[in-house]
Amino acid sequence: MREITYTWHHALLVGRLLIGLVVLLANISCSSEAFSFHPSRSNTQPRLRSSNNNHVLYHRPTISTNRSSRSSSTNALHMKANNNNAPPPYPVRVTVMGGGNFGLALATVVAKKGVPTTLLVRSDDVATEINENHRHPRYMTDICLPRTVRATTNKKSALSDATYIIHAVPVQYTREFLDTVKDDIPSSVPVLSASKGIETSSLGFMADILKECLGEDRSYAFLSGPSFAREICEGVATAVVIASEDLMLADDLADLMAGEDFAVFTSRDVIGVEVGGAVKNVIAIAAGMCEGLGLGTNAMSGLVTRGCGEMRRLGIYLGARPSTISGLSGVGDTFGTCFGPLSRNRKFGYRLGKGETPEEIRASMTEVAEGVDTSIALVKMIKERCKGYRLDLKYPILFGVAEIIEGNMKPLEGLQGLMSFPTRMENYDERF
């Protein structure tokens, strides 16, 4: 009798253990690694990750949308793959809109990771040259692009199956360009903007323009930092930041782009990154004028430092974090743009300091110096959004550059005006 009772209790214990094991395995199965992907840092295609036994790459962050009905004959596997909240069931494909220097640089970054990358360009001749000879016929012609970069002028073929879209069209041309492609961009595809500045017509940042043109029901991210296109293509060490309200998107894009010579940090401070990216170009024009006038290192260092103070003041007023302004997208990008020999905005300012007019400089440039139009838009935006007494005293460098660009002041007069400012505390807003 004792032996029977022992056997029965033993069987009951074993049964409970088996049930517990089944529950544990079920929980482990539900805890997919889909949202904790750690990419390879090599120059090969990023490794696959597993999500409910479907091998996919990355996570496509999406905003909830209405899902179309599916036929009852569709099996459960395909239903999961087609769900907007699931990762894409195919290898990642990236489309870069804009075939300028920075578009080429970011296409190179992604393609080095083995990701199929499409450049959407305007000219069939440019597309043919890139596809056949792997070089752009006008920009950085000595740079050989990765063979996984393909170019096309066909908007539908470039955008319809993209997992991520990178926008690298200059700010002032963005709205017109997006109007031509918005119907070809799938509603769930996130967009990474690499454009910096303020639109002169709306006085909006890129975040405002993208939401107005492509809708608010998608995720957006914004890349900034000290990153000259040529150095990126040449594999020189570079560090940038990607900001997004959807931090999961920022993390996935960082995984997608980060490599041995391209470090990517993330942030939620979109407005801070946008302010830094816009204002630094204006400061760079001022720094270029300082050099063109032959004023020396002391003057330029003081000018750039005071310009960063104006950037910080504006950023905080608009809701940015001070740490963002002092980071890669603010002070970091300002240093690169003001002191780097590859800066278009600095070169523009240098020629202004040498006596050329804005019209003469523009007529001879093949690339856009974003700070020129941004300087005028920035002053208008400050007057519209920032309330207070004597805004020209709070933002003398930003206001002064706009006056020079508009032809109301000479570069030397602007500098003399700065030097004649009344003595006060270095940071007037820290008088407590």
Locate 232 and state its tokens. Answer: 């990126």
* Those residues with Cβ within 8 angstroms of residue 2's Cβ, 6 or more apart along the chain or in another chain: none
* Residues forming a β-bridge with 166: 96, 192
Cβ atoms within 10 A of the Cβ of 115, count?
24
**Judging by beta carbons within 10 Å of its beta carbon (0-12, 13-18, 19+), is residue 332 exposed, middle or buried?**
buried
Q: CA nearest 158: which of 186, 199, 133?
A: 186
Contact 250, 222 (CB under 8 A): no
Contact 346, 369 (CB under 8 A): no
What is residue 390's predicted lDDT score, i.e. its pLDDT? 82
Cα separation, 378 vs 31, in Å, equals: 48
Contact 121, 96 (CB under 8 A): no
Token pair 């699931």 in the structure block, residue:
86
Contact 57, 88 (CB under 8 A): yes
Contact 285, 375 (CB under 8 A): yes
Rounded to 5 degrees, φ, ψ at 193 are -95, 130
Locate 81 and state its tokens. Answer: 């793959």
What count of residues does the chain have?
A: 432
What is residue 15's predicted lDDT score, i.e. its pLDDT? 53
What is each CA distance from 73 to 68, 76, 79, 90, in whole angstroms?
A: 15, 9, 10, 22
**Whether 280 is catalytic:** yes
DSSP per-residue codes, 183-194:
GGS-TT--EEE-
Rounded to 5 degrees, φ, ψ at 402 are -60, -40
Locate 271 and state its tokens. Answer: 């407005």
In tens digits, the chain (432 residues) has pLDDT values of 444 444 445 555 545 554 554 444 444 333 333 333 334 344 444 433 333 333 234 444 333 333 333 333 333 333 333 344 444 445 899 999 999 999 999 999 999 999 999 999 999 999 999 999 999 999 999 999 999 999 999 999 999 999 999 999 999 999 999 999 999 999 989 999 999 999 999 999 999 999 999 999 999 999 999 999 999 999 999 999 999 999 999 999 999 999 999 999 999 999 999 999 999 999 999 999 999 999 999 999 999 999 999 999 999 999 999 999 999 999 999 999 999 988 999 999 999 999 999 999 998 887 778 889 999 999 999 999 998 778 988 999 999 999 999 999 999 888 888 877 766 777 756 544
What is residue 2's predicted lDDT score, i.e. its pLDDT? 44
Contact 222, 195 (CB under 8 A): no
Q: Per the residue annotation, which of 196, 280, 347, 394 is the catalytic one?
A: 280
Locate 386 and state its tokens. Answer: 């920032």
Crossing angle (nearest 10°) for helices 396-405 and 370-385: 130
Quick one: residue 134, left, alpha or beta (phi over 0 = left, psi -120 to 50 = alpha)? left
What is residue 10's predicted lDDT score, i.e. its pLDDT? 53
Residue type for position 274 = E
94-97 and 117-120 strand pairing: parallel
Q: CA nearest 208: which of 335, 381, 37?
A: 381
Crossing angle (nearest 10°) for helices 296-317 and 411-419: 80
Residue type for position 70 = R
What is residue 238's predicted lDDT score, i.e. its pLDDT? 97
Q: CA nearest 331: which of 214, 225, 257?
A: 225
Contact 152, 118 (CB under 8 A): yes
Token pair 């980071």 in the structure block, residue:
327
What is residue 330's predicted lDDT score, i.e. its pLDDT? 97
For residue 366, give the DSSP letter. Answer: S
What is residue 370's predicted lDDT score, i.e. its pLDDT? 87
What is residue 65's predicted lDDT score, i.e. its pLDDT? 32
Cα separation, 418 vs 411, in Å, equals: 11
Is 261 in a helix, a strand, or coil?
Answer: coil
